[in-house]
Structure 1
């Protein structure tokens, strides 16, 4: 999604951003946990936090649109609503089993390295690695899933724009046109057969070279899974965004 969005010269997008991780320690330092808490009120806290966004994106022209990527934003919707009431959160979703399969496949491509996604621990088995990934507090997948579910059933659910991976790869232009409509932005002609995006230094730091390298074309890639079928079965019920009983008023699904 970032590779597509950044084709638009008015858009700033990347695979991830440190802004959320910069803000949370600041909040801690301005709270009762710090001896300096008495020097802060809500207005000063808001000003300081917004200054982080303004400073990080200082080089972006004022008429441009910024897409700041972090899996934890869905767990911070009250804060985003306080800072930027008109903000929207794009949530890219996919069946959990296939997310696990992709990560395991990438780990196996780099057998001589340990990955930061697993706290640099090899895991005694595939099942142990999955338990780490699915941890709701720190896991790469579990944290993102629990934050999304929190946002989905919250009073801020109308901020969510949900994009299903399978729909995106099957009909990328239709999905992007829908996104532009929701953002009330003029359409930009994207090239779905000529993508270019890579973050080699970041991926090397994660211990997973090639993790975020994007293929040239948006298309469905059929492949045999590398994980056992019981893992797909175990996590099949977690795709709550596909369940009719979980439909929420205001959430846009593309």
Structure 2
């Protein structure tokens, strides 16, 4: 490809859209909310597997070229940026493939206190009380307890991405992985972005953290979750009380493995 490809992944509601909005201020960069490439990558990988009756005619090198072609064709001439950041929670589960396809590509995994992730989603559900959300397959029933359980299970929005994050964090392909804490991004965006630029090996850029802009209103409306990708104009922490029952909040309060150096055997960069 003529472009440099990096990846944004990690946990939902942890700053990936905010990070993309900030990076997008750099005219050399393209970054946005989660897109279709992760799903397309998985689908093509499956279609090129043994379930295809003609798979005996497909070599690994052909698979590799076809997967590379996805990025080459999707990020075509209409994307004038030299550096592309593709966002998808699936990328943390594809570290080995990404390392092979993009040896210089970096994966920035956004992370956040898991209890506050659950809280953030619950707050959105309550704010849009008359619009069932795609997060829960547009089902209007349930309680805060069933929603938290659904989010946290292995196939849930949070549980899947959390397990993928751990797979990346404890896997063998961590040299190109960095974890960026939501708390760092909103409290000290300049330090967070300086770390990102150093990690990807790009020259520093003067970002405007008081004038951040990003719009995905049509997508959010269709998903039944207006505000899902809302980015506040000024990057600043916003303190508030949790809407979760105390027992639900406590359930996830010890899940931040990335904060304990003893649980970081491969010395993954955590900012």
**Residue from 184, 189, 193 that aligns with 2:210:** 193
Pairing 1:38–2:38 present? no
Pairing 1:209–2:226 present? yes
Pairing 1:104–2:125 present? no
Quote the Cα distance in structure 2 between the aligned partners of 1:67 and 1:172: 18
Count of matched residue pairs:
252
Per the alignment, residue 193 of structure 2 pairs with 176
TM alignment of 1:1-254, pairs within 5 A: 1-59=19-77, 60-61=79-80, 64-137=82-155, 139-254=156-271
Bigger RCO (CA 8 Å, 6+ sep): 2
TM-superposed CA distance for 1:174, in Å, is: 1.1
The 3-state SS of whatever aligns with 1:31 is coil
Quote the Cα distance in structure 2 between the aligned partners of 1:39 and 1:80: 24
Which runs of 5 or more residues in structure 2 are unaligned? Answer: 1-18
The 3-state SS of whatever aligns with 2:253 is helix
Runs of 4+ in 1 over 4 A off after TM superposition: none
Q: TM-score, normalised by structure 2?
A: 0.90
The worse-fitting range, judged by mean Cα deviation, of 117-126 and 182-191 is: 117-126
TM-superposed CA distance for 1:135, in Å, is: 1.9
RMSD: 1.2
TM-superposed CA distance for 1:123, in Å, is: 4.0
Which runs of 5 or more residues in structure 1 are unaligned? Answer: none
TM-superposed CA distance for 1:122, in Å, is: 2.9
Quote the Cα distance in structure 2 between the aligned partners of 1:24 and 1:123: 31
Q: TM-score, normalised by structure 1?
A: 0.96
Quote the Cα distance in structure 2 between the aligned partners of 1:52 and 1:37: 19
The 3-state SS of whatever aligns with 1:157 is coil
